[in-house]
Structure 1
Amino acid sequence: MVSSRTIEIPVSINPTDAIRAMREIGESEGWSMERIDDSTIVQRWAIIVPITRSTRVLGIQVNGGKSDGLILRTWSFIPGSAGRISFVSFSIPDSFDGLDWNDFLEEWVSRLPRCPWKWSFIERSVIGYLIPEFRISRKRFANEGIDLNKWKSSD
Structure 2
Amino acid sequence: QNVTLTLSLGKKFEVTYVSLQFCSPRPESMAIFKSMDYGKSWVPFQFYSTQCRKMYNKPNKAVITKQNEQEAICTDSHTDMHPLSGGLIAFSTLDGRPSAHDFDNSPVLQDWVTATDIKVVFSRLHTFGDENEDDSELARDSYFYAVSDLQVGGRCKCNGHASRC
Common fold, TM-score beyond 0.5? Answer: no
**TM-score under structure 1 normalisation?**
0.32
Q: Which has the higher helix share?
A: 1
Q: Higher relative contact order by CA 8 Å / sep ≥ 6: 1 or 2?
A: 2
Looking at CA atoms only, which structure, 1 or 2, has the larger radius of gyration?
A: 2
**TM-score under structure 2 normalisation?**
0.31
